[in-house]
């Protein structure tokens, strides 16, 4: 997911909003010129993050700080929290949701997507990782997923939500909110595209087999195209969506060959 989002962040030269930023270092690593980064997380997480960043990279001139948005989105609407930090809602924005949606109840996921959708200007994009519903509801049996999810539950971080990770399923969920699906990658496609040096193995896959990755746009493509008023763009000009394999293809082999539990034991970039 890191490689996937980093490459796409380069598209945007205006605003990036990282939801549930945790200890994400993208704003400091990329340093994309005029890009304004907003890191949204709980107040206690933001406080720890600021102290850690100041201790590790004190040079603020070399490593400009993002706008830290300390807010509990269950209490404070995203728009209100960002506006308080001088967020410009009129500009296309890249929103990222990494390692967070699967830990929220479905109604909270729906509420978050609704808030982002109401805030996002035309041309904005959102990218996220999502768990394949077939694994969470038990349709696909996978020892690694089962052991990993039990370990997370024991830590007080149960997996609570998922998506139908097909082109039709993702499009059906996001279309009412005004989003168009641009790309949907399964674990094998993600590995081939962004980590080609890692050989795919059904026995020990280099990526979690139940994770899928989607990129969507709000309204119109970004950057905004020059459109002839007499000849509006046709639906055929929309980018093709890459379709991941069906869940059966992504399922892990027999238990004795399952992927190590450690690969699924903790969410990326989430603080303890």
- CATH no., domain 2-222+235-264: 3.40.50.150
pLDDT for res 220: 62
pLDDT in tens, 172-193: 999 999 999 999 999 999 888 8
pLDDT for residue 260 is more than 50: no
Q: How far apart are CA 100 and CA 47, in angstroms?
A: 19
Mean pLDDT to the nearest integer, 103-131: 95
Is 170 in a helix, a strand, or coil? helix
Region 27-33: mean pLDDT is 79
Closest by alpha carbon to 69, among 49, 52, 53? 49
So where are the chain's domains? 2-222+235-264
The pTM assigned to this predicted structure is 0.76
What are the tens digits of pLDDT across the range 129-145?
999 999 999 999 999 99
**CA atoms of 86 and 108, how far apart (whole Å):** 25
d(CA 184, CA 171): 10
Task: Give 41 or 196, the one with higher predicted confidence.
Answer: 41
Bridge partner list, 18: 39, 96
């Amino acid at each position: 997911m890191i490689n996937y989002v980093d490459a796409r962040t380069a598209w945007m030269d205006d605003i990036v909003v990282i939801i549930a930023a945790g200890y994400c270092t993208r704003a400091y690593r990329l340093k994309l010129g005029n890009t304004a980064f907003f890191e949204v997380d709980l107040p206690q997480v933001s406080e720890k993050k600021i102290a850690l960043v100041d201790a590790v990279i004190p040079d603020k001139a070399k490593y400009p700080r993002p706008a830290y948005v300390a807010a509990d989105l269950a209490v404070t609407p995203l728009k209100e929290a960002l506006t308080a930090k001088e967020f410009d809602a009129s500009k296309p924005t890249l929103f990222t949701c990494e390692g967070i949606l699967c830990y929220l109840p479905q109604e909270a996921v729906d509420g978050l997507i609704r808030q982002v959708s109401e805030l996002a200007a035309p041309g904005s994009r959102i990218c996220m990782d999502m768990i394949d519903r077939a694994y969470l509801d038990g349709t696909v049996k996978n020892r690694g997923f089962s052991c990993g999810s039990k370990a997370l539950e024991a830590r007080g971080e149960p997996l609570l939500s998922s998506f139908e990770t097909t082109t039709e399923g993702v499009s059906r969920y996001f279309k009412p909110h005004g989003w168009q699906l641009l790309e949907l990658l399964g674990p094998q496609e993600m590995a081939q595209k962004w980590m080609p040096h890692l050989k795919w193995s059904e026995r020990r896959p280099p990526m979690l087999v139940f994770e899928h990755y989607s990129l969507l746009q709000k309204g119109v493509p970004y950057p905004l195209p020059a459109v002839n008023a007499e000849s509006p763009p046709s639906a055929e000009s929309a980018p093709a969506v890459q379709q991941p394999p069906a869940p059966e293809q992504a399922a892990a082999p027999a238990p004795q060959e399952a992927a190590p539990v450690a690969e699924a034991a903790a969410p990326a970039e989430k603080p303890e």
